[in-house]
Amino acid sequence: MSFLFGGKPQLSSAEKIDAALTEVEMVSDMFNRLSQSCLKKCIPADYREGDLNKGESVCLDRCVAKFFEVNVKVSEKMQGEAAMRQGGAAGAGGMFGM
Protein backbone atom coordinates (compact mmCIF):
# COMPACT_ATOMS: atom_id res chain seq x y z
CA MET A 1 0.00 0.00 0.00
CA SER A 2 1.13 3.54 0.01
CA PHE A 3 2.07 3.87 3.64
CA LEU A 4 5.54 4.55 2.40
CA PHE A 5 4.48 8.07 1.56
CA GLY A 6 2.82 8.67 4.89
CA GLY A 7 -0.26 10.73 5.16
CA LYS A 8 -3.74 9.29 4.93
CA PRO A 9 -4.04 5.58 4.11
CA GLN A 10 -5.42 4.94 0.65
CA LEU A 11 -8.93 3.59 0.65
CA SER A 12 -9.92 1.00 -1.86
CA SER A 13 -12.33 2.16 -4.52
CA ALA A 14 -15.28 0.35 -2.95
CA GLU A 15 -14.62 2.14 0.31
CA LYS A 16 -14.33 5.47 -1.42
CA ILE A 17 -17.62 4.99 -3.20
CA ASP A 18 -19.22 3.93 0.04
CA ALA A 19 -17.92 6.99 1.79
CA ALA A 20 -19.24 9.24 -0.96
CA LEU A 21 -22.59 7.50 -0.95
CA THR A 22 -22.88 7.72 2.81
CA GLU A 23 -22.22 11.41 2.69
CA VAL A 24 -24.81 11.93 -0.01
CA GLU A 25 -27.27 9.82 1.94
CA MET A 26 -26.73 11.84 5.06
CA VAL A 27 -27.27 15.09 3.22
CA SER A 28 -30.39 13.87 1.49
CA ASP A 29 -31.75 12.42 4.71
CA MET A 30 -31.26 15.77 6.35
CA PHE A 31 -33.02 17.45 3.46
CA ASN A 32 -35.97 15.08 3.71
CA ARG A 33 -36.39 15.67 7.40
CA LEU A 34 -36.08 19.39 6.93
CA SER A 35 -38.69 19.33 4.17
CA GLN A 36 -41.10 17.34 6.24
CA SER A 37 -40.81 19.53 9.33
CA CYS A 38 -40.81 22.84 7.54
CA LEU A 39 -43.69 22.02 5.23
CA LYS A 40 -45.74 20.82 8.14
CA LYS A 41 -45.05 23.91 10.20
CA CYS A 42 -45.18 26.58 7.57
CA ILE A 43 -47.87 25.59 5.08
CA PRO A 44 -51.34 25.57 6.60
CA ALA A 45 -53.75 23.06 5.16
CA ASP A 46 -55.79 25.63 3.28
CA TYR A 47 -54.92 25.01 -0.38
CA ARG A 48 -56.89 27.95 -1.56
CA GLU A 49 -54.42 28.54 -4.38
CA GLY A 50 -51.51 26.65 -5.86
CA ASP A 51 -48.85 29.30 -5.36
CA LEU A 52 -46.88 29.94 -2.22
CA ASN A 53 -47.74 33.28 -0.69
CA LYS A 54 -45.30 35.67 0.92
CA GLY A 55 -45.96 34.60 4.47
CA GLU A 56 -45.31 30.96 3.66
CA SER A 57 -42.19 31.79 1.66
CA VAL A 58 -40.69 33.88 4.43
CA CYS A 59 -41.56 31.14 6.91
CA LEU A 60 -39.83 28.50 4.78
CA ASP A 61 -36.68 30.59 4.38
CA ARG A 62 -36.40 31.18 8.08
CA CYS A 63 -37.21 27.56 8.85
CA VAL A 64 -34.22 26.37 6.82
CA ALA A 65 -31.89 28.82 8.54
CA LYS A 66 -33.10 27.77 11.98
CA PHE A 67 -32.87 24.09 11.12
CA PHE A 68 -29.22 24.50 10.22
CA GLU A 69 -28.54 26.46 13.36
CA VAL A 70 -30.12 23.76 15.48
CA ASN A 71 -28.02 21.19 13.62
CA VAL A 72 -24.82 23.07 14.40
CA LYS A 73 -25.70 23.64 18.03
CA VAL A 74 -26.64 20.03 18.65
CA SER A 75 -23.44 18.76 17.05
CA GLU A 76 -21.34 21.21 19.09
CA LYS A 77 -23.01 20.11 22.29
CA MET A 78 -22.57 16.45 21.48
CA GLN A 79 -18.94 16.97 20.62
CA GLY A 80 -18.47 18.72 23.93
CA GLU A 81 -20.11 15.86 25.77
CA ALA A 82 -18.07 13.26 23.93
CA ALA A 83 -14.87 15.14 24.66
CA MET A 84 -15.79 15.36 28.34
CA ARG A 85 -16.56 11.70 28.51
CA GLN A 86 -13.37 10.79 26.72
CA GLY A 87 -11.38 13.09 28.92
CA GLY A 88 -12.87 11.43 31.98
CA ALA A 89 -12.16 7.95 30.64
CA ALA A 90 -8.62 8.85 29.59
CA GLY A 91 -7.94 10.39 32.96
CA ALA A 92 -9.08 7.25 34.69
CA GLY A 93 -7.25 4.92 32.34
CA GLY A 94 -4.07 6.97 32.21
CA MET A 95 -3.16 6.07 35.74
CA PHE A 96 -2.98 2.41 34.86
CA GLY A 97 -1.74 2.79 31.29
CA MET A 98 1.43 4.77 31.72
Partner 1 sequence: MSTPASPGNGVPEAPQYQPPKAPPKQNPAFRMLGMPNFRFKLPSRNWLIFLSVTGSFAAAITYDRRQKKAAQKKWCDLVSHIAQHPLPVNQMPRKLTIFLSAPPGDGIRPSREYFKEYIKPVLVAAAMDYDVIEGRKEGDVRYGTAEQIRRLRRKKGEQTEKPDLGEIDPEQLVENIREQLKIRPEPVIRGDLIIGRHTWKEYLRGLHEGWLGPLDEPQSRREPTPPSEDASHSTSTDLPPNDASTSTTTDPPLESPAENKIPPKEAETKPPSPPYAYISTSAYSTSPASPNLPIHLEPSAPIPHRHILGFFNTPIRIYRFLTQRHLADSVGRDTAALVLGLHRPYHQDSSFASSSTGEIDALPVTTSSPETDGTTSPAATVQTAQTWEQQSLLQEEEADWHKSAKKPRKDDLERVWLDDVVIDPRIGQRMRRFELPPEEEERAKRIGQGSERSRAVEVMDLRSEPVITDESQASSGKTWWAFWEKGKD
Partner 2 sequence: MDSLNPAEQRELSSRMEKKQMKEFMTMYSKLVQRCFDDCVNDFTTKSLISREEGCVMRCVDKYLKGSERLGSRFQEQNAAMQAGQLPGR
- CB of residue 68 vs partner 1: minimum separation in angstroms? 12
Q: Residue 71, interface with partner 1 (CB under 8 A)?
A: no
Could you say which of partner 1, partner 2, none residue 2 binds, taking C-beta under 5 to 8 angstroms by partner kind? none
Nearer to partner 1, 49 or 95 (CB): 49
**For residue 14, what is the enclosing H or E element?**
helix 13-42
Among partner 2, partner 1, none, partner that 58 touches (CB below 5 to 8 angstroms by kind): partner 1
To partner 1, the closest distance from the beta carbon of 65 in angstroms equals 11
- Nearest Cα neighbor of 30 from 58, 64, 61, 59 is 64
- Give the burial class of 17: count Cβ atoms within 10 A of its Cβ; 0-12 exposed, 13-18 middle, 19 or more buried: exposed
